[in-house]
Chain A
Amino acid sequence: MRHTLSVMVENEPGVLSRVAGLFSGRGFNIESLNVAPTLEKGVSLMTIVAEGDEAIIEQIVKQLRKLVPVITVKDLTEVQSVERETVLLKLNAEDSKRAEILRVTDIFRCKIVDVSCDELTVECTGDRGKIKAIVNLLGRFGIKEIARTGNVAMKRSMQMD
């Protein structure tokens, strides 16, 4: 199963490789990993998306908690959460295709962030499903380059079941 882990860490050298090492040490793949500072001084938040069975994830979560610079670990898979990813897509966009591309990006509320005579660069933010859909839809115009941030996530304030 796919798990999204939200890991609060001390922002100190080596912490990223300590965290990543726990996954690689178990032959376990990280799908995406995103790190950036938080409001609190010296503290960063990592959002890690990884796939694995329950037993492995449980071990990883416990092992993460054991790392000295790790402050908290939350498995967001167990709760309702907001997940977002941003993707930049550079598309083939000759004149004949441009209108169609703009229609699609409009529906998905993407932004055009760069233009030239035969290319368009599109920025899109959304959850996993939306990103998958837009990449699919725009794929037929020919994607020349893609850059994705990987997921960031947060627990929802209200948990409804």
Chain B
Amino acid sequence: MELTGAQILLKCLEKEGVDVVFGFPGGAVIDIYDEIPNFSVEHILVRHEQGAIHAADGYARATGDTGVCLVTSGPGATNTVTGIATAYLDSIPVVIFTGQVPRPLIGNDAFQEVDIVGITRPCTKHNYLVQDVCDLARIVKQAFYIARSGRPGPVLVDLPKDVLNQKCRFDYPEKVSMRSYNPNVKPHVGQVRKVAGLIRKAERPLIYSGGGVVSSKSHEELRWLAQELRIPVTSTLMGLGAYPGDDEELWLGMLGMHGTYSANMAIHNCDLLLAAGARFDDRVTGKISEFAPHATIVHIDVDPTSIQKNVSVHVPLVADCKEALGALQKEMQALRDEMDWERKHEQWLAQIQEWRRMHPLTYLDDEEKIKPQYVVEKIDEITKGEAIICTEVGQNQMWAAQFCTVKEPNMFLTSGGLGTMGYGFPAALGAQRAFPDKLVIDIAGDGSIQMNIQEMMTAVCNKLPVKIVILNNGYLGMVRQWQELFYEKNYCATCMDAQPDFVKLAEAYGAAGFRVTRKQDVQSVLEEAFALDKPVIVDVRVEQEENVYPMVPAGASLTEMLLV
């Protein structure tokens, strides 16, 4: 039997096991919307296409599956670009379907026409313009395969309106075969041996783990290596949760610009740095020439372009992290019995504890004023690390990363690579849709939350009880911090004290709103808010000019930290 392009698309989504699509309709995709009620795929209507793509991304990060987003041509498509770039830089598998004008009009500046394939070429892993309905099923199959295999990333499929009306027999390919795309996932055996030898010899080894460990689901292997071989672990923002944040002995916290003193000192002093699924971002390395100066650097990454890009690596290992860490585990298992790992790194671990004692991650608390870090600590205490934490971007994000105890992967969702303000809330909606019974919290700044606040309506009408906690400092805090430290307090365009009444705003949408202005109320209000079965905004008025510390000034060496 022949089906229309629109029906074929929805059938493909069913075959891929997609249960939810985040989207916003328009003329170019109306044929798909016309068919949605006839298929099992649920559609969640957002209020802005940026919300749709971030929600699909949040869904992907929380579940480890692929997120799906559907929007119309022209403005619908361009509204997703920030979200596509966000997913691209953090290697998140998302498939984006965009409507397009009918084929005969393409290239004619037709109404709502935009070359979205051209626009998104540099920020997608791959993209397609479907030219013939008979290619559609194959392309969708490939899109999902490309999005989730190798180094994951967003894939866009552009669908001309007339293709959606054309008919073709539906045949979903069993397998993907592409002569040009074969990601390499198996590690080179010789290289693995070499790394095992290096670990065996190392006196001061350190693991630097990144988002690749989360996305390849290799946290078990990571934990084994660290715990059995007694190697301390630090991680990037994206890697939080891969190693349990409550291990007080081996877990050092995040490294880099706002990393802990102990993590940054450990990087500087280690003799073996085992980087897994991390890409040596400049926010992590500080001054490149002084990064890990005494270490042999091993770099495991599925993407060869990440290797040797920023730092020169002694032993590259191109492979999926799970495969590589698994192979390494096997190698080390044999060596474990013949070596006394318990004592081997005793001195090194003692040194690390000493650094931690000297400069723990802390802040100057206040009797009266509400310190933002205090709020995050309370969130952490109340949720016991069992909530999915999303963040916006800025100081709120760094405090969340520093003071939340992330114990499991896929529990800390944040825009790391692109640093997209407005990411956290819609991402939280995606995560909440995936896990209706979990507590999902967006730790926000007063600036960021206003970038996608319209999704409050999506939250309310889809009964997605996300909790937003605004660390309201009346500033674009992170930029203000830079202005304070490096631009002689010229607070140009960062004061945001003209604000909506967030409590009333929440209520206007049909959500609940709380305001906290006294320190003694923080805990009780958070508890009350988290217990409610609906979306909530908690507007916490925090100390306005609090800074994030430690801080490595841009371009400085990791040892040159400004401390509290």
Q: Do A and B actually bind?
A: yes
Chain A residues with CB under 8 A of B303: 66
Question: When the two chains form the complex, which single residue of A9, A14, A62, A70 contacts B305, counting CB atoms closer than 8 Å?
Answer: A62
Q: Are A65 and B304 in contact, with the CB atoms below 8 A? A: yes
Q: Are B122 and A68 in contact, with the CB atoms below 8 A? A: no
Chain B residues with CB under 8 A of A69: 180
CA–CA, A106 to B514, complex, Å? 90
Nearest to B307 among chain A residues (CB) is A62
Q: Are A21 and B180 in contact, with the CB atoms below 8 A? A: no
Q: Are B129 and A68 in contact, with the CB atoms below 8 A? A: no
Chain B residues with CB under 8 A of A21: 121-122
Question: When the two chains form the complex, which single residue of A14, A18, A59 contacts B309, counting CB atoms closer than 8 Å?
Answer: A59
Give the shortest distance, in Å, between A64 (CB) and chain B (any CB): 10
Nearest to B129 among chain A residues (CB) is A13
Q: Are B305 and A71 in contact, with the CB atoms below 8 A? A: no
Q: Are B180 and A25 in contact, with the CB atoms below 8 A? A: no
Q: Does B288 contact A (CB under 8 A)?
A: no
- Provided the pairs A63-B305, A66-B303, A71-B180 are in contact, do residues A17 and B121 lie with their beta carbons within 8 angstroms? yes
Q: Does B347 contact A (CB under 8 A)?
A: no
Q: Are A17 and B180 in contact, with the CB atoms below 8 A? A: no
Q: Does B104 contact A (CB under 8 A)?
A: no
Q: Does A10 contact B (CB under 8 A)?
A: yes
Q: Are B305 and A68 in contact, with the CB atoms below 8 A? A: no
Q: Does A58 contact B (CB under 8 A)?
A: yes
Give the shortest distance, in Å, between A155 (CB) and chain B (any CB): 20
Q: Does B486 contact A (CB under 8 A)?
A: no
CA–CA, A138 to B289, complex, Å? 51
Cβ < 8 Å to A, chain B residues 140-183? 146, 178-181
Chain B residues with CB under 8 A of A70: 180
B131, B179, B308: residue with the most chain A Cβ atoms closer than 10 Å:
B179
Q: Does B522 contact A (CB under 8 A)?
A: no
Question: When the two chains form the complex, which single residue of B117, B146, B304, B309 contacts A68, counting CB atoms closer than 8 Å?
Answer: B146
Cβ < 8 Å to B, chain A residues 1-55? 9-10, 13-14, 17-18, 21, 25, 55
Give the shortest distance, in Å, between A12 (CB) and chain B (any CB): 9
Nearest to B125 among chain A residues (CB) is A68
Q: Are A62 and B304 in contact, with the CB atoms below 8 A? A: yes
Chain B residues with CB under 8 A of A17: 118, 121
Q: Are A68 and B180 in contact, with the CB atoms below 8 A? A: yes
Interface size bracket, B side: 10 to 19
Q: Are B121 and A68 in contact, with the CB atoms below 8 A? A: no
Q: Are A25 and B122 in contact, with the CB atoms below 8 A? A: yes
Total A-B pairs in contact (CB under 8 Å)? 37
B129, B131, B180, B303: residue with the most chain A Cβ atoms closer than 10 Å:
B180
CA–CA, A21 to B181, complex, Å? 19
Cβ < 8 Å to A, chain B residues 107-145? 117-118, 121-122, 125-126, 129, 131
Q: Are A68 and B118 in contact, with the CB atoms below 8 A? A: no
Chain A residues with CB under 8 A of B180: 9-10, 68-71
CA–CA, A13 to B309, complex, Å? 29
Give the shortest distance, in Å, between B164 (CB) and chain A (any CB): 19
Nearest to A63 among chain B residues (CB) is B305
Mark interface residues in B292-315 (1 if CB within 8 Å of A CB, else 0): 000000000001110011000000
CA–CA, A68 to B176, complex, Å? 13
Give the shortest distance, in Å, between B181 (CB) and chain A (any CB): 5
Cβ < 8 Å to A, chain B residues 374-425? none
Chain A residues with CB under 8 A of B125: 68
Nearest to A60 among chain B residues (CB) is B305
Q: Are B181 and A59 in contact, with the CB atoms below 8 A? A: no
CA–CA, A67 to B303, complex, Å? 12
Q: Are B305 and A59 in contact, with the CB atoms below 8 A? A: yes
Cβ < 8 Å to A, chain B residues 231-247? none
Chain B residues with CB under 8 A of A9: 180
CA–CA, A111 to B110, complex, Å? 48
Q: Are A66 and B117 in contact, with the CB atoms below 8 A? A: no
Give the shortest distance, in Å, between B221 (CB) and chain A (any CB): 25
Chain B residues with CB under 8 A of A65: 304
CA–CA, A68 to B183, complex, Å? 10
Question: When the two chains form the complex, which single residue of A13, A18, A63, A68 contacts B181, counting CB atoms closer than 8 Å?
Answer: A68
Q: Are A68 and B126 in contact, with the CB atoms below 8 A? A: yes
Question: When the two chains form the complex, which single residue of A10, A25, A58, A63 contacts B308, counting CB atoms closer than 8 Å?
Answer: A58
Chain B residues with CB under 8 A of A63: 305
Give the shortest distance, in Å, between A1 (CB) and chain B (any CB): 17
Nearest to A64 among chain B residues (CB) is B305
Nearest to A14 among chain B residues (CB) is B117
Q: Are A71 and B121 in contact, with the CB atoms below 8 A? A: no
Chain A residues with CB under 8 A of B308: 55, 58
CA–CA, A67 to B181, complex, Å? 8
Q: Are A10 and B121 in contact, with the CB atoms below 8 A? A: no
CA–CA, A50 to B129, complex, Å? 30
- Provided the pairs A17-B118, A21-B122, A68-B146 are in contact, do residues A10 and B304 lie with their beta carbons within 8 angstroms? no
CA–CA, A131 to B304, complex, Å? 37
12 further A-B pairs in the complex, CB-CB below 8 A; given A10-B180, A71-B180? A9-B180, A17-B118, A17-B121, A18-B121, A62-B305, A63-B305, A66-B303, A66-B304, A67-B126, A68-B126, A68-B181, A69-B180
B-to-A contact residues, CB < 8 Å: 117-118, 121-122, 125-126, 129, 131, 146, 178-181, 303-305, 308-309
Task: Give 25 CB contacts A-B under 8 Å.
Answer: A9-B180, A10-B179, A10-B180, A13-B129, A13-B131, A14-B117, A14-B121, A14-B129, A17-B118, A17-B121, A21-B121, A55-B308, A59-B305, A65-B304, A66-B303, A66-B304, A66-B305, A67-B126, A68-B126, A68-B146, A68-B180, A69-B180, A70-B180, A71-B179, A71-B180
